[in-house]
Structure 1
Amino acid sequence: MSLSAVHGTLSSLKSFQGDIGTGMDIVTDVAMDLVEAQDEEVNPGVMEMEAMILECAKLDREINFFIDAVQQVTSEVTAQQPETMFNLSDKVKEKFSERVARLSDAELHSHQKVVAFKDNIKNSLKQANQESAENMEELDDDIAVTQSQVNFSCPLTQVEMVNPVKNKKCNHHYEEEAILGLIKTKKSQKKKCRCPVVGCGNADVREADLVPDQVLRRKIQSQKRQNKT
């Protein structure tokens, strides 16, 4: 197998990671629906979904480890003789196994989408416990993130957000694609990314600080449905 074929396989793996992330978002949405429908403490179904989210996080981490191992090994042999290609598989397996063995539960629980799952379930459960059975069908319209508290417009794009993310440091929200683009641009300029919200003192916004806010996303979707009717 040529190195170009190896790199093509890695590209496919990275694309698969995107599908894993989408699946984790769907699981979070379903778990939130369960919480809102039950109006009680977290039920076994939600706990099973948390276990599913953790399994997805583990798979995502392992893909990262594998990609890193392949890239490290191939970078070491590109300048050597072609026959060294036969030893690549064993070297990759060795490095991959070493890294997987060090993967801790704490690292899985710190995965961005696992953190988002827990935050969103916590917020949904809090809201569900505040609602009576009579107005449960209107729960999405009463989520505890009101329009007066959070502007539905992204401070970067100035349009209504579709996939809002919350900054854990300053609690401000942005459209995911817009803030990630800004972080990437600033990084290429070797500069820190300042929070775009006027008056915010957070001068170093990092991707690791961003958590998908599905509670807010559902609030925005609910508002759209109200406007249409």
Structure 2
Amino acid sequence: MPVRISSPASSLEAGPSRKSQVHRAPASSEDEEDELIEEEGWTRDTFENRTISKNTTAAIPMLRGMMDKLKDVISRIEEGLDNAKETAVALEDSKQDEPSIAEVETAFFRALDQRQLLQIRIEILEDMINQLRAGEEYSDIESAYQEVVTTRETEYMAKSQRAKYKNLKEYADFRSALWEINHTTACPPVSQWLEKDADEESDDDDFDMGGATQSYKCPITLMLFKDATTSSKCGHNYSREAIMNLIDNMRKAKRASKCPVTGCSAILDKTDLKANPSLQKRADEFDRRQKRREEEKEEADETIALEDEEDFD
């Protein structure tokens, strides 16, 4: 996403020697912008780039506006990641190791890549803002931006799957959600599902996500989540009514509302709690699978008992 610098209404101090106030009233559309420029004696033919510094009107707000738009796109991508995980879980639940899960995983990887590329751009824009505030000047801000973007994006895309995804919580959650459908043991390290370059050094000693099972029990009630709720401070999960009651009781006792998870020291407030419908859905599906397995086990035990009786007769 290039930084637009071809219009004085956007951010730059440029144009004819006559003083213009156009930059003080940002245009609401490109047509309105052109009209304002012409009214003030500006034209795209007479426009020439000038140096941008921290004193350039609207330069920093413009960059911040770009960052906000990129963050909005990232939010939509993360919604897509959740949907992809749910799709993969449904496929695995219908048939173990369903081949089409590979296609969902490929789409999941693409979304992770797109999110990271956008995050790279956000970081670059943030760096440019800090540099402007520190007194840096840009004679051609668009070229400077694109040069850094190209370099960093190329570096990222050259990495192997293992280098890009093995330490991502989202991918660990994706694999753990699939694993728990047909297994009762902890999910193995996620690197076993990721390709690495032929010349990539062994990373056996590196940190690797995985190896844990998701708990669907509230740490307060020790029962399956009801209206699953997550703390934005520490990331721990609870049943909504249980955690709300705990906070209320602690307030009445004039004590700090400490997170009830063992080893966590976060102090909670009701404003820190966010509904987690995705987790609740997974908890309900987990409960359904557990009940199905118990029914299948009972049926198998009855069948064995009947066969034993027949053999005895």
Q: TM-score range by the shorter chain?
A: 0.5 to 0.7
Offset, 1:49: 0.8
- Higher RCO structure, 1 or 2 (CA under 8 Å, sep 6+): 1
1:94 alignment partner, one of 135, 139, 147: 147
Q: Residue in 1 aligned with 2:227?
A: 160
Cα 1:91–1:201 shift into 2, 3 Å: same
Shift in CA distance, 118/159, structure 1 to aligned 2, threshold 3 Å: closer
Q: 1:17 to 1:145 in 2, by over 3 A?
A: closer
Whole-angstrom CA distance in 1 between matches of 2:281 and 2:118: 28
Name 1:116's counterpart in structure 2.
173
Shift of 1:78: 4.2
| 1:153–1:17 CA distance, 2 compared to 1 (3 A) | farther
Identity, % of aligned positions: 13
Residue 69 of structure 1 corresponds to which residue in structure 2? 124
CA contact (8 A) 2:74 2:115 kept: yes
Aligned partner of 1:174 among 215, 237, 261: 237
- The answer to whether the 8 Å contact 1:152/1:161 transfers is no
Change (3 A) 1:112 1:145: closer
Matched, 1:196 2:259: yes
Report SS of the residue matched to 2:218: coil
**Structure 2 partner of 1:26:** 83
**Aligned twin of 1:182:** none
**Change in 2 beyond 3 A, CA 1:222/1:44:** closer
User: Which structure features the higher share of helix residues?
Assistant: 1
Deviation of 1:16 (Å): 1.2
Q: CA deviation at 1:123?
A: 1.1
**Based on CA coordinates, which of the two structures has the bigger radius of gyration?**
2
**Structure 1 partner of 2:191:** none
* Alpha carbons 1:145, 1:219 under 8 Å: kept: no
User: Following TM superposition, by how much is the alpha carbon of 1:37 offset from its aligned partner in structure 2, in angstroms?
Assistant: 1.0
CA offset digits 1:119-168 (Å, max 9, x no partner) = 111112327xxxxxxxxxxxxxxxx9786xx228699xx97315699x9x
Query: Which residue is equivalent to 2:106?
Result: 51
Aligned length: 169
Cα offset, 1:10, TM superposition: 1.1
Q: Which residue of 2 aligns with 1:60?
A: 115
TM-score where L is the length of structure 2: 0.44
| Alignment root-mean-square deviation, CA | 4.0
Taking structure 1 as reference, are residues 145 and 96 closer, same or farther at Cα in structure 2, changes over 3 Å only? Answer: closer
Please tell me whether the aligned partners of residues 154 and 174 of structure 1 are also in contact (alpha carbons under 8 angstroms): no
Using the alignment, how far apart are the partners of 1:35 and 1:215 within structure 2? 17
Query: Contact 1:154–1:160 (CA<8 Å) still a contact in 2?
Result: no
